[in-house]
Structure 1
Amino acid sequence: MAKAKEYTGTVRKSDLEGGFLELHTDGGEVYRLSGSVAGVSPGQRVKATGRVEHGGFGIHMSGPALEVESIEVL
């Protein structure tokens, strides 16, 4: 299992497939947020700690999933 890393960026909402949250990082990557994201809203800057799930399959037309372990609004 990959080690958890920190990612900083802005939360955005995608309206595809019923809607989901994405993290647009300061480095230009885009991740679909999953896991512990309660209380986070689109437009907020956050620092998320978690693991990127590569090779999975989902119905969302987005980047890879970031399985969030913790998230902090900045």
Structure 2
Amino acid sequence: MSTPASERVRVEVRNPGSIPDHELRCFRERGETPLAHGSGLGLWLVRWIVESAHGTVEFANDDDRTRVRFDLYRVAD
């Protein structure tokens, strides 16, 4: 998480297990086809919401764990 003084908020979640490489490629390359696509709706929805708010999102596999990190800009008071 970020500090209150920063202009953006970062959230990072790590879970056991990993995302299959072909699904990570779909997210990174932004190209889903009938033969190359993700198996669920959750991570696609995270990416859609974060990017709709002009944020950034990153998915990665680290040591048999999945890491999802996203940054959103803070709204001025």
Provide the TM-score with structure 1 as the length reference.
Answer: 0.25
Provide the TM-score with structure 2 as the length reference.
Answer: 0.25
Higher helix share: 2
Choose 1 or 2 for highest CA Rg: 2
